[in-house]
Amino acid sequence: MSCIAYYEASIQDFLIADENSIFGLLSIEHGFSLDHPQKFAWLSQIQILKTQLKSNLEGMIYFEFSIPRMGKRADVVLLIKGVVFVIEFKVGASSFDTHAIEQAHDYALDLKNFHLGSHNLQIVPIIIPTAAAHLAIPPIKWAKDQVAEPLHISKENLAKAIEIVVKQSEVVAIDPTIWAQSGYQPTPTIVQAALSLYREHDVKEITRFEAGAVNLGLTAKRVNEIIDQAKSSNRKAVCFITGVPGAGKTLAGLNIATSRTETNLDEHAVFLSGNGPLVDVLREALARDKASREGISRAQAHREVSTFVQNIHHFRDDALKSKKPPIEKVVIFDEAQRAWNREMASKFMQQKRGHPTFDMSEPAFLIGAMNRHDGWCVVVCLIGGGQEINTGEGGLAEWIAVMRNQHPDWDVHISSRLNDPDYIWDIGLANELTNAPFYWDEALHLGVSIRSFRAEALSNFIGYLIDNKPEEARLTYRAMADKYPIFLTRNLDKARSWLRERARGSERFGLTASSGGNRLRPEGIWIKSKIEAPVWFLNDKLDIRSSYYLEETASEFDIQGLELDWTCVAWDADFRRGDIGWEHFSFRGTKWQRVNSVDRQLYLKNAYRVLLTRARQGLVIFVPAGDSTDPTRSPSFYNGIYEYLQLCGIPLFQET
């Protein structure tokens, strides 16, 4: 994908071009009716730049430069020698508002991280309120990645600021044509991806053309082939997609649902998730965006987006009301490993939903509902490795048992990684299924993390750390440390400061902890205080309930399937080190009690796996020092954790 601007020209050509001609080209590319403020803004920008840019400057100018991941356009980008200037004008404004500063910084960071031609260039974001009084040019402050802090200047100082930066930057001029055509390869958050897909973009336009994007493309292609094959042969099929944390399972599911709905209206493809916080956050983000773009009420927007992402429990309840087949012919179940087993589903449906005769697992009921179709249908199950985090979650084994014992006439397409213990716990069942009449397919495994564009080895590192393999963890972290920083501290205030200092622009950071971390309360972390997920994940820095304030803490249940740029993981004594490895505890009443159940031990292990894989750019781990006067927070509980994490190669915060 190439970067696109409404207008581009050499600086010399721009300076001699007629203002109205430039304005006309901008209007044509815009493609929509122009309001007066936009006309005035463009004309003002053209006039200022014609006054400030010198005729001896060699470089290129781009108006309305596309930033695909954000779905926005930067006002002006200048490429002068080897420096990229990203300029945001606030026409008529006399002051520098925080939002404008963050926006310019975000554009610069997006270019640095996702535009191939800009990876190794110096980038300077500039904000110009056109009515601001004359201001001195501040010192240029560069971050390690050569993105400068945003410059706040008056319009009269633009030429001087460019001159200062270019003189300071001993860089070689680059070919602007190669730069512009180098390609933009963004890695979106799941919220950004959902927004783009809802606006009818294809997944290829919003993710990188590297290993992760190739993997996603192959998986989507294979699933579409399976659906078309089932449709043409009038058969029923289930397809199991496995993936490492952050590999884009949810993105793949959203893309499949969107593409099938657009091209096959009779299929009524739907994306379902049992992850309440994920559904709430995606729906709220989509509704806010739709209301803003279309000028409709938030309530109306919510009603309209509700069909794009649905809660799996609503689908189940609708299927209970009628014995007819669902309208949907293609159903994508996100995080299918979290579907309830027979005991949990029956208990809930009998006690909470008033169905005294309900006696089956969630997979059994959901497959049974789709089996009502006389002809073809396809169920796509998205399975995360090591993601079961709650009592009663059946995992992949529950789905496989249902297909084998109750629906042997269905075609079963499954990832070749089925035998991996991260996806199926019962080794005996895994061995037995090796000879089962299933279609094994490597294309149904997403093995590359795209959550962190900085370190695709993150999931491997966390896997080694959680699985008592410190030597492997240390070697893996050593290879990724420059791209993905992880630090260890026993001071929560320092952890908070680290997050605030690391995050730039609107990069989101937050505090996380295990739902069993009940003795973090003396540290100021009260995990039982429930967050409001859409507010915590979506609201800005002015809202004390947002993640930015580092007051409210998200648990593994709140954050699974979602992500932040930077996180702090607060580690309690529920998952601690013993003589032979990890030990599992639950706080009950006034003391810690050892967890003996194998399933509950696995849930606790996976809770920390989820927490440690939520950050896209880096994280800090806070391990309390404990209190020798408090038997529930003995230093011995925490020292083993702290020492083990160092053994895995994680450096102390004080050493940075």
Domain that holds residue 368: 216-274+308-446
Last residue of a domain, one of 422, 446, 470: 446
Q: Is the pTM of this model over 0.95?
A: no
Task: Supply the pLDDT for residue 168.
Answer: 85
- The DSSP annotation for 86-150 comes to EEEEETT--S--HHHHHHHHHHHHHHHHHBGGGTTSEEEEEEEETTPPP-PPPPP-B-TTSBBPP
CA-nearest of 127, 110, 130 to 119 is 110
Whether residues 469 and 430 share a domain: the answer is no
Whether residues 222 and 140 share a domain: the answer is no
Answer whether residue 53 is part of any domain: yes
Whether residues 402 and 498 share a domain: the answer is no
Answer whether residue 72 is part of any domain: yes
**Close Cβ partners of 346 (under 8 Å, ≥ 6 residues apart):** 358, 359, 360
**Close Cβ partners of 217 (under 8 Å, ≥ 6 residues apart):** 203, 204
Q: Is 171 helix (H, G, I), strand (E, B) or coil?
A: coil
Whether residues 165 and 241 share a domain: the answer is no
CATH for 232: 3.40.50
Contacts 24+ apart (CB under 8 A), 396-399: 396/240, 396/242, 396/336, 396/337, 396/423, 396/424, 397/424, 397/425, 397/426, 397/429, 398/339, 398/341, 398/361, 398/362, 398/363, 399/238, 399/240, 399/336, 399/339, 399/363, 399/367
Last residue of a domain, one of 153, 180, 207: 180
Kindly report the backbone phi and psi dihedral angles of residue 652, in degrees, each rounded to the nearest multiple of 5, phi listed first.
-75, 145
What average pLDDT does the segment 549-568 reach? 94
Whether residues 420 and 471 share a domain: the answer is no
Which H or E run contains 234?
Answer: none
Task: Supply the pLDDT for residue 591.
Answer: 96
Answer whether residue 313 is part of any domain: yes
Answer whether residue 200 is part of any domain: no
Q: Are 622 and 520 in contact (CB under 8 A)?
A: no
Whether residues 464 and 523 share a domain: the answer is yes
Whether residues 442 and 386 share a domain: the answer is yes
Answer whether residue 284 is part of any domain: no
Whether residues 441 and 462 share a domain: the answer is no
Q: What is the pLDDT of residues 51-107, one digit of tens each?
A: 999 888 889 999 999 887 667 899 999 999 889 999 999 998 888 888 889 999 999
Q: Best-predicted range by mean pLDDT among 17-21, 177-181, 452-456, 519-523? A: 519-523
Residue with tokens 């944390």: 245
Q: What percentage of the chain carries pLDDT values higher than 70?
A: 89
Buried/exposed code over 352-379 (b: 16+ C-beta within 10 A; e: otherwise): eeeeeebebbbbbbbbebbeeeeebbbb
Whether residues 562 and 435 share a domain: the answer is no
Answer whether residue 206 is part of any domain: no
Last residue of a domain, one of 424, 446, 468: 446
Q: What is the pLDDT of residues 430-446, one digit of tens each?
A: 666 666 778 889 999 88
Number of independent structural domains in the chain: 3
Answer whether residue 295 is part of any domain: no
d(Cα 196, Cα 432) in Å, to the nearest integer? 42
Instruction: For the chain, give the mean pLDDT.
Output: 87
Answer whether residue 246 is part of any domain: yes
Whether residues 482 and 439 share a domain: the answer is no
Whether residues 504 and 592 share a domain: the answer is yes
Amino acid making up residue 485: P
CA-nearest of 10, 4, 7, 12 to 27 is 7
Whether residues 442 and 480 share a domain: the answer is no
